[in-house]
Amino acid sequence: MGVDYYKVLEVDRNAKDDDLKKAYRKLAMKWHPDKNPNSKKEAEAKFKKISEAYEVLSDPQKRAVYDQYGEEGLKGQVPPPDAGGFGGGSSFYSTGDAPNVFRFNPRNADDIFSEFFGFSSPFGGSRGGSRFSNSVFSDDFFGSFGESGGFGGGSMNQAVRKASPIENTLPCSLEELYKGTTKKMKISRQIVDTNGKTTTVDEILTIDIKPGWKKGTKITFPEKGNELPNIIPADLVFIIDEKPHRLFTRDGDDLVVTQKISLAEALTGVTVNLTTLDGRNLTIPVNNVINPNYEEVVPREGMPIRKDSSTRGNLRIKFIIKFPSRLTSEQKAGIKKLLGS
């Protein structure tokens, strides 16, 4: 069933925007880790979950997905609702060969906190210590907020900062990573015009995937996240992932394939016929005696090497030898005679 975000924020399922803000304001200040130095680990976990719940329920698109599919659907792959938008920690995109999908990755809890209160404070010390100066997170600080979420008296300097990167996996077939390809990604995001009005725009991003790219390769589109006051938009990062292939597996720059052969073929030789990732047919005679650890290496028939796509890794052929389940007395005698005993 997953986490009940309504229960986390202590609101009912019909809660309005003002109800959510009031609940988040109260709970975020109650459980902020710097407010709870004696139980920081527990506070960290609750503060993170409170921020995640508020991020989901305060966004119409995320809330619609959550209400219909629950937390599992929100963080998995489900058809998005008609509502557009490109949330700070979510993505709504499509490719030419796949339906629209919605993926949600919770944003940094500190980012949500500082955006909500209209305040971006300088970090103090390492992550293990207080994130804010002691004078900021005193009891007076937590008592200085009014219902509006701002400071009750005086003002604090606001510092422009950059939002955390938004990362999404980009699945690619082994053929695409072998030959290279171009993918066009449609994104929806919010921008602020010169009058301060927020609007949603659609953009098409083009990703040129080069031959030899590997799983984990990152493609960054600077500042393609939502535009928010006093926030530099997040970078949008796509991370290459390799789809499983029915025949080949990848090992660095090498391609590995496994063939099943009989014991007779292992002893007398076999010819392996393969179709490469770019559609060529290979005929590979193996004349050596094949033992269970034997590999036949075909030079330069592996993946393109990223730094020099004119060179390639190797194709490595492994073998699974099928032994007969039984032999007749005559067969055993014949093998002994041929191989010696």
pLDDT digits (tens, 9 = 90+) for 132-164: 444 344 444 444 444 444 444 444 445 578 888
Please report, to the nearest 10 degrees, the dihedral formed by the alpha carbons of residues 141, 143, 147, 153 taken in order: -60
Read off the pTM: 0.54
Task: Please give the Cα distance from 82 to 61 (Å, whole number).
Answer: 8
pLDDT, residue 244, reads 95
Q: Pick the residue with more confidence: 126 or 161?
A: 161
pLDDT (tens digit, 9 = 90+) per residue, 217-248?
A: 999 999 888 888 778 888 999 999 999 999 99
pLDDT (tens digit, 9 = 90+) per residue, 311-329?
A: 999 999 999 999 999 999 9
pLDDT > 60? residue 91:
no
pLDDT, residue 243, reads 95
pLDDT, residue 110, reads 80
What residues contact 26, with CB distance under 8 A and at least 6 apart?
A: none
Please give the span between the terminal C-alpha atoms of the chain, in angstroms, as a whole number.
65
Query: Which has the minimum average pLDDT: 58-67, 284-293, 321-330?
Result: 58-67
pLDDT, residue 322, reads 95
192: confidence class by pLDDT, cuts 50, 70, 90: confident
Distances (CA, A) of 38 to 31, 34, 43, 135, 234: 12, 9, 9, 18, 33
Task: Please give the Cα distance from 172 to 186 (Å, whole number).
Answer: 17
189: confidence class by pLDDT, cuts 50, 70, 90: confident
How deeply is 196 buried, as exposed, middle or buried, from its count of CB atoms within 10 A (0-12, 13-18, 19+)?
exposed
pLDDT, residue 118, reads 55
341: confidence class by pLDDT, cuts 50, 70, 90: low
Contact between 240 and 213 under an 8 Å Cβ cutoff? The reply is: yes
pLDDT > 90? residue 275:
yes
Give the mean pLDDT of 262-269.
94
Q: Look over the chain and give the mean of its residue pLDDT values, rounded to a whole number.
A: 80
Query: Which has the minimum average pLDDT: 35-49, 62-76, 117-131, 250-264?
Result: 117-131
Contact between 263 and 324 under an 8 Å Cβ cutoff? The reply is: yes
337: confidence class by pLDDT, cuts 50, 70, 90: confident
2: confidence class by pLDDT, cuts 50, 70, 90: confident
Token pair 């063939």 is found at 259
pLDDT (tens digit, 9 = 90+) per residue, 295-315?
A: 999 999 999 998 887 899 999
Q: Pick the residue with more confidence: 132 or 6?
A: 6
pLDDT, residue 308, reads 83
What residues contact 98, with CB distance under 8 A and at least 6 apart?
A: none
Residue 227: which of 171, 178, 176, 188 has the closest Cα?
A: 188
pLDDT, residue 289, reads 94
Give the mean pLDDT of 26-53.
88
pLDDT, residue 49, reads 92
- As a three-state string, the secondary structure of the chain is CCCCHHHHHCCCCCCCHHHHHHHHHHHHHHHCHHHCHHHHHHHHHHHHHHHHHHHHHCCHHHHHHHHHHHHHHHCCCECCCCCCCCCCCEEEEEECCEEEEEEECCCCHHHHHHHHCCCCCCCCCCCCCCCCCCCCCCHHHHCCECCCCCECCCCCCCCCEECCCEEEEEEECHHHHHHCEEEEEEEEEEEECCCCCEEEEEEEEEEEECCCCCCCCEEEECCCCCCECCEECCCEEEEEEECCCCCCEEECCEEEEEEEEEHHHHHHCEEEEEECCCCCEEEEEECCCCCCCCEEEECCCCCEECCEEEEECCEEEEEEEECCCCCCHHHHHHHHHHHCC
Token pair 């305060």 is found at 58
